[in-house]
Structure 1
Amino acid sequence: MRDKNAMGKAKGKAKEATGKLTGDRRMEAEGKTDQAKAKAKDALDAAGDRAKGAKDSMTDGDGR
């Protein structure tokens, strides 16, 4: 999932840069929004990974 989030960040950066170059404030804002969404998804994925790790450390690791 992180690869998809990295693609979202890259897409957002490209949109933002294009918007800056062309003077299109809407595209620039969309780019910033895309980057923020990808960053939020990264944080959510990381929290899920930490929760899974905490659960695994409280059990014997096989989900029981």
Structure 2
Amino acid sequence: MSGRNRLAAAWKAVIVMGGKDKARNMAEKAKGKAQEAAGKATGDRPLETKGKGMQAKSDLKQAGEKIKDATKH
């Protein structure tokens, strides 16, 4: 495999992994929203707080992904 082909394969792997990470972060945020809503509905403050924490964690990960994307181009 030539150097150019190896480089193209490496970039393709980075792009695919980035998409998987973004999907995972979005799923984590959705789970956090569901936990927050369940906590509010049942009056379970710890569950509500845990849901908010998951959303914040997901937001930070998404910000990191955006920074990685910005530095790639």
Q: Pick the TM interval, shorter chain.
A: 0.7 to 0.9
The alignment covers a number of residue pairs equal to: 53
Out of 39, 42, 47, the position equivalent to 1:22 is 42
Divergent runs of 4+, >3 A: none
Q: Which amino acid aligns with 1:50?
A: A
Question: Gapped runs of 5+ residues in structure 1?
Answer: 54-64
- Percent identity, aligned pairs only? 47
- Cα deviation for residue 52 of structure 1 reads 1.3
Q: TM-score, normalised by structure 1?
A: 0.80
Structure 2: distance between partners of 1:49 and 1:13:
26
Which of the two has greater helix per residue? 2
Question: Gapped runs of 5+ residues in structure 2?
Answer: 1-20
Q: TM-score, normalised by structure 2?
A: 0.71
